[in-house]
Amino acid sequence: MKPASKVKPAKNRKKNSRWLVVFYAVLLIAVLGTVAFFWYPSNNKPANNPQSNVLNNELNSMPAGFKPFAENYLDVMKNLNSSQTKDKMAALLNPSYNQTDLFTWESSRMTFANDPAGSFEDPFQILDSGDGICLQWSIVYVSACLSLGYQSRLVVAVDTSTWTFIHVWAEDYYKGSWVPVDPSDKAWNHQSTYLSWDWGPYIGSTVRIYAFEDGSFQDVTSTYSAH
């Protein structure tokens, strides 16, 4: 005769049931969390862009007025470096043009105006308006250089008491170094010229000079100062 099977006490059965409920609840939470992580990656995955982090740290370490000033020109350079802008600008140009050929081309499309029709910062809006001050001339010039494969950047002299620009020109990377180019004056490699301008004596004190590329900026004041 087989011995009677042992029956687990009700107390143990209830305890085991509670553990199963807890186990399945934890499992369900883990599954839902994993699904949410992969379903919404942009909201859950941490940003991993060291260059962007460095740029933000640099901007945040500068005086309060510098950040909106710099962000504006960084946005301009981001637009000029976009493939869409480069392709559209290249279609307007002779691919054989060198950097100084672009002086003549730009003069055929624009006139200098102390009071331009609009304070545009997009090269095609500027070309459509047909005029501009140093800022607009430099934006169009840098855009044209970039579209033809030349390395070029915007350079801005700024009054640090108000963080407003005084003058804007360009720099082209030529034979291993950055060469100043002022398209509104049709001038090439002339950094000492600015010392004779009315704001020239203040370079290095209340006037600072910054060069802007795609996603970066550089203080180039010492290049243009007398010291």
Read off the pLDDT band of 89 (50, 70, 90): very high
Take residue 23 and report the two structure tokens written for it.
């186990």
Number of domains, the chain: 2
The residues, ordered by sequence, that sit 6+ positions from 223 with a Cβ below 8 Å of its Cβ are 178, 180, 191, 209
Round to whole Å and give the CA distance between 97 and 99: 7
Q: pLDDT tens digits, residue range 158-171?
A: 999 999 999 999 99
Least confident residue range of 50-59, 66-75, 193-202, 215-224: 50-59
The residues, ordered by sequence, that sit 6+ positions from 194 with a Cβ below 8 Å of its Cβ are 157, 167, 200, 203, 224
Does the structure show a pLDDT above 60 at 49? no
Q: Are 131 and 21 members of one domain?
A: no
Question: By three-state DSSP, how is residue 34 classified?
Answer: helix
Name the phi and psi angles at 4, rounded to 5: -65, 135
User: 169-178: long-range contacts at Cβ-Cβ below 8 A with a sequence spacing of 24 or more?
Assistant: 169/134, 169/138, 170/138, 170/141, 170/142, 170/145, 171/211, 171/220, 172/99, 172/145, 174/99, 178/153, 178/211, 178/220, 178/223
User: Would 166 be classed as within a structural domain?
Assistant: yes
Percent of the chain having pLDDT more than 90? Answer: 64
Range of the domain at 58: 50-224
- Quote the distance between the C-alpha of residue 175 and its chain's center: 25
| Spatial CA neighbour of 111 closest among 56, 183, 12, 19 | 183
Q: Are 97 and 37 members of one domain?
A: no
Q: Are 57 and 29 members of one domain?
A: no
Take residue 142 and report the two structure tokens written for it.
């840098």
- Quote the distance between the C-alpha of residue 188 and its chain's center: 26
User: Would 138 be classed as within a structural domain?
Assistant: yes
* Averaged pLDDT for residues 135-142: 97
User: Would 169 be classed as within a structural domain?
Assistant: yes
pLDDT, averaged across the chain = 84
Round to whole Å and give the CA distance between 213 and 170: 11
Does the structure show a pLDDT above 60 at 87? yes
Name the CA dihedral angle for 22, 25, 27, 30, rounded to a multiple of 10 degrees: -130
Round to whole Å and give the CA distance between 124 and 138: 13
Does the structure show a pLDDT above 90 at 144? yes
User: Would 143 be classed as within a structural domain?
Assistant: yes
| Spatial CA neighbour of 141 closest among 182, 174, 111, 178 | 182
* Averaged pLDDT for residues 98-123: 90
Does the structure show a pLDDT above 70 at 21? no
Percent of the chain having pLDDT more than 70? Answer: 75
Supply the pLDDT for residue 69: 94
Q: Are 129 and 219 members of one domain?
A: yes
Supply the pLDDT for residue 22: 56
Supply the pLDDT for residue 209: 97
* Averaged pLDDT for residues 98-114: 94
The CATH number of residue 74's host domain is: 3.10.620.30
Question: By three-state DSSP, how is residue 90 classified?
Answer: helix
Read off the pLDDT band of 197 (50, 70, 90): very high
Does the structure show a pLDDT above 80 at 12? no
The residues, ordered by sequence, that sit 6+ positions from 14 with a Cβ below 8 Å of its Cβ are none
pTM of full prediction above 0.85: no
* Averaged pLDDT for residues 75-82: 98
Supply the pLDDT for residue 5: 46
Q: Are 20 and 93 members of one domain?
A: no
Supply the pLDDT for residue 219: 95
Does the structure show a pLDDT above 50 at 2? no
Q: Are 102 and 29 members of one domain?
A: no
